Structure 1
Amino acid sequence: MGQDKMTVGLVYGGKSGEHEVSLQTALAVMNAFDYEKYEIIPFFITKKGEWRVGGRLSAPLASVERLKLEQEAGDTSAAVELLFKGLGGGGRELDVIFPLLHGTNGEDGTIQGLFEMANLPYVGAGVLASAAGMDKAVMKKLFADAGLAQCKFCYFTAASWANNSHDHIQHVESELGYPCFVKPANLGSSVGISKASSREELIRAVEHALRYDLKVVVEEFVDAREIEVGILGNDEPLPSVPGEIVSSSEYYDYSAKYLDGKSQMIIPAQLDTEVAERVRELGVKAFKSIEGSGLCRADFFLRRDTGELLINEVNTMPGFTPFSMYPLLWRETGMSYTALLDRLIELAVQRFEARQNLDFENGVQ
């Protein structure tokens, strides 16, 4: 290893419905890294949750298939040994971890906890922000506490639905009305979301969402434009220019997001200067409300009738190919994809070093 090169562990794949998206992201990131500055060690997590670790790379792997590390890769025990090397006082082989995992077990705080236990710097949100950013019900409570305006919503668990479905239906009908949107509380990429326009559709939508999670969020329908802003930083986060999603379907579902290619991203969004500035300001506020670090994308509704801005959600590990909204927002703001990678690694190391100075001895000498 060159003296001045950083060793970056790139973690991708995973036990998630977004496994394939993660592979595409990893390929893009791997191709954008400056190999004069970094060496990469790839960590691939299979759909079954098995870990494979490859050797050091001084050039990107050629294809998604190669990313799966079928040959000449260490197994789970080798991956864990490499992650935890250095805890006993030996030399650490990894300078920073870059998780490119979406959805369950990737951006929900679980793998972030593993990196904390391994005492490794890692890109992105910590355990708390990751978990809060993944659970739509908890996220909405934090937004409310921060005074951020949002659409009306309710949530309930599978057990509560089984015991009190009639009460929940009545609450949705009296407080939210039809149409409404039904979502699994903990899932990324718009999987499991349905629009319900009647009681029968609501029941079907809840049953569908409960296939993916044990908690369901129901939201009122809002006729609005979808505006997004990228946030970058730790204690003093900066917002990008805002962008707009014009969906190919009635709402921005998984198909509209990844499959049909017809949804448009308009960057920068065509907004009045004051509205654009408000989006940027509220995006930073949303990021701080979940105690974010590194990066997030904050998504808003801009009501067509009143012009009110409503926070929809934050995404602590947004899509990260060069054609994804988050990197494109920063490109338009003046930061290239490669420079964005550099900055995220800097922020990861800064956050780690700040936490190393904390006293965990409880005052005992």
Structure 2
Amino acid sequence: MTTLAETKVLLEELVAFPTVSSDSNMAMIAHLASRLDGCGARVEIYLDPSGQKANLFATIGPETDGGIVLSGHTDVVPVADQDWATDPFLISEADGNLYGRGTCDMKGFIAAAVAMAPRFAETVRDRPIHFAFTHDEEIGCIGARALAQTLGEKGLRPSVAIIGEPTSMRIVEGHKGCYEYSTHFTGLEGHGSAPDRGINAVEYAARYVARLLDLKEALKARAPSRSRFDPPWTTINTGAVIGGHAHNVIPGLARVDWEMRPVQAGDAELVKSDLARFCAETLIPAMRAVSPDADIVTETIGEVDGLVPADENEAKEIVMELTGETEADCVAFGTEGGIFQAMGMSVVICGPGSIAQAHKPDEFLAEAQLSDCLQMLDRLGGRLSQ
């Protein structure tokens, strides 16, 4: 069986694990650990506080600093309310494409990396190669932040990270940050016929969203003059407004789920300070004039820093050598790359599949992209044998 065929079998096995972020990834982690252990890798599994999720960190090669990390997240986004033509957790093939949830985002890269582990076990000499497979990237890079802390506590210091998010095998050296929040509104329920006797949490949520829209427009004027991002400014997105039960009931609770993707740290501070002032000086006083228990509380789901393009980037140099690419891009979508960069590593994003397919029904990975990824990793194995 060819390496590509073996990788496709492994990818089919990985897709069959329904590792939606709300559920456990333990079965998939155990499967990957078994495969890597069978290649002689030193495998560590780090549980989250619930014991239902885990990160995997494995090493092939010497126990030294300066290793190369192959990184991927094990969780996938939900398939609920999506119209799939096939079972999303069973691989189907058509026209050279592999269909299934997580095929491109990003179990394809994980399958390729693990399928190449026997090659690495044969070739790695003076520089270790690490496998870092995390939980809960899709809901705030929770696993990667925990893994960074664990590696720091253990004194492990890899120097290069290749994040296999879907870039169509292009090299990405920078991306925006991703800050996600849920803002909770506590009002006072009452009968709809007497609105002044209650506090309509949905209406206050709507005023909050209106402020977000004002900030969203204002940020366009703050775009750095040489921004390489598309769009070049910090964006804000209102993902959900939730609240209310019936036409004639004043809703006492509401929630706004929103995010921003900063291109510069000052933008994030501007948005957060403006909203805090708007709530403290305008919304909350009006609410508490009716009930002292009224409140607005913003919950931070995750604040993941962007990946900053670096003048000196060994990861970029290595992957350019492996792929033959001569240019590196910046993208708007977020990854765990900024977390690894903050640990002192040089980082690039390069993986099989298109981000245009991620999170959608009938997500797919082109088999040709998987083959290109295997070639890149095979060359990496050769490079580490020198």
Question: Is TM (by shorter chain) over 0.5?
Answer: no
Output the TM-score relative to the length of structure 2. 0.29
Larger Rg: 2
Output the TM-score relative to the length of structure 1. 0.30
Say which structure, 1 or 2, has more relative contact order (CA 8 Å, 6+ apart). Answer: 2
